[in-house]
């Protein structure tokens, strides 16, 4: 049975670095599932930096929507799979489904149900977006609520959960 690790925290809190360290401790080969895409120059630069930091032990798959399909299709071929990040995946799904959260949460539940059956350990990186001010527009509030609910579902499904504050990891379970 796979071990699922859930990592959350604020932006630039060290989540990806911790996730990469945990994956590397399992040895190569490793799979990195990137849910974001280079929509602008700044994001393209981030992607280049992240790939350079990871090095040759990693195979990268960019998949903005079908996370469940990628995990199923690549199970058993890697020492660990790192998904970075759930928050971008949720955003992609929300826009794909015309800003309707119900089908997005159905996909999150599908992912949570899949995780225990995988042979490859999975590390999920997500953002904690609900600790700030209440957003001033409907879509941002909808996304904040969706991300909170999705994080609850995935954290409950995980064997281990971490939160990072200012680069400091705190184990939740």
How much is the pLDDT for 36?
Answer: 86
Tell me what percent of the residues of the chain surpass a pLDDT of 90: 82
Residues 156 and 173: their CA atoms lie apart, in Å, by: 10
CATH class, range 4-171: alpha beta
Is the CB of residue 10 less than 8 Å from the CB of residue 116? Answer: no
Active-site annotation holds for 96 = no
Residues 140 and 45: their CA atoms lie apart, in Å, by: 25
Average pLDDT over the chain reads: 94
pTM (2 decimals)?
0.94
Residues 75 and 134: their CA atoms lie apart, in Å, by: 39
From the candidates 50, 74, 96, 97, give the one annotated as an active-site residue.
Answer: 50
Is the CB of residue 120 less than 8 Å from the CB of residue 74? Answer: yes
Q: What is the mean pLDDT of residues 31-57?
A: 86
* C-alpha torsion sign, points 134, 136, 142, 147: negative
Among 36-40, 90-94, 155-159, the minimum mean pLDDT is found in: 36-40
| Domain edges within the chain | 4-171
List, for residues 90-119, the tens digit of each pLDDT value.
999 999 999 999 999 999 999 999 999 999
């Amino acid at each position: 049975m796979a071990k699922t690790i859930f990592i959350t925290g604020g932006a630039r809190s060290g989540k990806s670095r911790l996730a990469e360290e945990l994956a590397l401790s399992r040895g190569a080969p490793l799979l990195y599932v990137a849910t974001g895409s280079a929509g602008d120059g700044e994001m393209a630069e981030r992607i280049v930096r992240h790939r350079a930091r990871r090095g040759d032990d990693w195979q990268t798959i960019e998949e903005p929507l079908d996370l469940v399909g990628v995990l199923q299709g690549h199970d058993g071929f890697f020492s660990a799979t790192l998904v970075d990040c759930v928050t971008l995946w949720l955003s992609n799904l929300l826009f794909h489904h015309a800003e309707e959260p119900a089908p997005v949460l159905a996909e999150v539940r599908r992912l949570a149900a899949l995780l225990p059956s995988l042979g490859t350990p999975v590390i999920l990186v997500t953002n904690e977006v609900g600790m700030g001010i209440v957003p001033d527009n409907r879509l941002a509030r909808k996304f904040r609520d969706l991300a909170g609910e999705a994080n609850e579902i995935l954290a409950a499904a995980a064997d281990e959960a971490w939160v990072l504050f200012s680069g400091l990891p705190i184990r939740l379970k």
